Amino acid sequence: MEDTRKADGMGIKPLLKVLGRQPETIPPVWMMRQAGRYLPEYRAVREKAGGFLDLCFNPELAAEVTLQPVRRFGFDAAILFSDILVIPLALGRKVWFVEGEGPRLEPLADAKALLSVRQEADQKLLSPIYETVRHVKSELAPETTLIGFCGAPWTVATYMVAGRGTPGQAPAKDLAAREPEAFQHVIDCLVDAAVDYLARQLEAGADVVQIFDTWAGSLPPKDFERWCVQPTERLIAKLRAKRPGAKVIGFARGAGKNIPHYVDETKVDAVSLESGIDRNFARDEIQSRVPVQGNVDPLILREGGVALDREVDAVLAAFSGGPFIFNLGHGILPDTPIAHVEQMLKRVRG
């Protein structure tokens, strides 16, 4: 008789077990931005691909860089190699990456520009990304979880408005305050585009999806509710209407004390924790609600040595009593030595 636990992956994927609230003695491990410039094999493929977006839209090469860190370190999860800014691209905006600086988009300066954002995402443009998911899925071991992702509407909107990363996200905050209805239009477009995008990633073989709200922490409480909590709640409800039981990890970076509320409202299955959060608070008020993921400080990972051992021990001590996925509190930095990643994994896995 077929083992149904194996058929749905729950019986053999440690990360999915944790999402189902069964703690593992040794926590499953992966790293945000695990496919990236700290790996020589990534840099080699990146060079071959040409631009960063060319790599995102090349299924064969994107699958290859997705798999590289899993092969090298035996991580418990692969995260799709793509970027949160492919959604604005699919909504008809211009997006490009400046080497050594970061993303650039044509900015949205006023209500008229906000209202000009297209409602339908170009799914044909995004189809190579679903192809990447299928390709990765076909090569992953059955115990490895495949994570899809998107940017949360607020975080993607901050880049669309400013046309680039901005300290404190002032341009988006100002425009949202001046033109709330037009800003809401962009948020609504981003919710619908994300629902479709994530549903198709799940259909193509992703086991779970993570929603990155990197700039959630820049919003004061009332705006946090309107631009982070409510759109994410709608996104997840609509996604689960399309894909019942869809598993979602939320990352409301910087939201700190507001995370329990974010969890209750959005109904995420788990949350990724930033490095700066009070770990006792996170254990008592967040892990008591949902499994948590995190939260080694990427700066300490780069530093290595005794400081890294202490950081790993502190993370394990805080969260090992409940359902927990070992990770960083934000993406790995490009100048992190590979030996430090190995040191961290050895300490986690014993």
Q: Minimum distance from CB of 35 to ligand CP3 (Å)? A: 4
Task: By CB under 6 A, tell whether 272 contacts ligand CP3.
Answer: no
Task: By CB under 6 A, tell whether 256 contacts ligand CP3.
Answer: no
Q: Give CA–CA dist 343/66, Å, rounded.
A: 22
Identity of the residue, 37 or 240, whose beta carbon is nearer to ligand CP3 in the bound complex:
37
Task: By CB under 6 A, tell whether 35 contacts ligand CP3.
Answer: yes
Q: Is 37 a catalytic residue?
A: yes
Report, in angstroms and rounded to the nearest whole number, the Rg of the chain calculated over CA atoms: 19
Q: Name the H helices within the chain.
A: 4-7, 14-19, 40-49, 52-56, 59-73, 86-90, 111-115, 123-139, 153-162, 170-178, 180-204, 221-223, 230-242, 259-266, 279-281, 298-303, 305-319, 338-349
Out of 13, 46, 173, 247, point to the residue binding ligand CP3 (CB under 6 A): 46
Rounded to 10 degrees, the C-alpha dihedral 285/288/294/295 comes to 40
Out of 81, 319, 324, 326, point to the residue binding ligand CP3 (CB under 6 A): 81
Q: Is 3 a catalytic residue?
A: no
Asked if 173 and 231 touch (Cβ cutoff 8 Å), the reply is no
User: Which contiguous run of DSSP H or E holds residue 150?
Assistant: strand 145-151
Candidate ranges 76-84, 128-136, 216-224, 338-346; the one touching ligand CP3 (CB under 6 A): 76-84
Out of 14, 88, 103, 250, point to the residue binding ligand CP3 (CB under 6 A): 103
Q: Rounded to whole angstroms, what are the CA distances from 350 to 18, 278, 316, 347?
A: 19, 26, 12, 5
Identity of the residue, 9 or 331, whose beta carbon is nearer to ligand CP3 in the bound complex:
331
Q: Minimum distance from CB of 294 to ligand CP3 (Å)? A: 13
Task: By CB under 6 A, tell whether 36 contacts ligand CP3.
Answer: yes
Q: Across the strands, what pairs with 113?
A: none
Out of 57, 75, 154, 212, point to the residue binding ligand CP3 (CB under 6 A): 212
Q: Minimum distance from CB of 65 to ligand CP3 (Å)? A: 8
Identity of the residue, 50 or 337, whose beta carbon is nearer to ligand CP3 in the bound complex:
50
What phi and psi, each to the nearest 5 degrees, are found at residue 205? Answer: 130, 0
Q: Give CA–CA dist 343/347, Å, rounded.
A: 6
Identity of the residue, 211 or 283, whose beta carbon is nearer to ligand CP3 in the bound complex:
211
Instruction: Look up residue 333 and give its two tokens.
Output: 């930095």
Task: By CB under 6 A, tell whether 226 contacts ligand CP3.
Answer: no
Q: Which of 309, 263, 303 is nearest to 286 (CA)?
A: 263
Sign of CA dihedral 232, 237, 240, 241: negative
Q: Is 46 a catalytic residue?
A: yes
Candidate ranges 79-87, 115-123, 198-206, 315-323; the one touching ligand CP3 (CB under 6 A): 79-87
Q: Minimum distance from CB of 85 to ligand CP3 (Å)? A: 6
Identity of the residue, 165 or 322, whose beta carbon is nearer to ligand CP3 in the bound complex:
165
Q: Is 164 a catalytic residue?
A: no
Catalytic entry in 46, 93, 234, 279:
46
Q: Which residue shows structure tokens 């090298």?
A: 72
Task: By CB under 6 A, tell whether 83 contacts ligand CP3.
Answer: yes
Task: By CB under 6 A, tell whether 145 contacts ligand CP3.
Answer: no
Q: Name the H helices within 140-258.
A: 153-162, 170-178, 180-204, 221-223, 230-242
Active site residues: 33, 37, 46, 83, 159
Where on the chain is the footprint of ligand CP3 (CB under 6 A)? 32-37, 46, 52, 79, 81, 83-85, 102-103, 149, 151, 165, 212, 214, 331
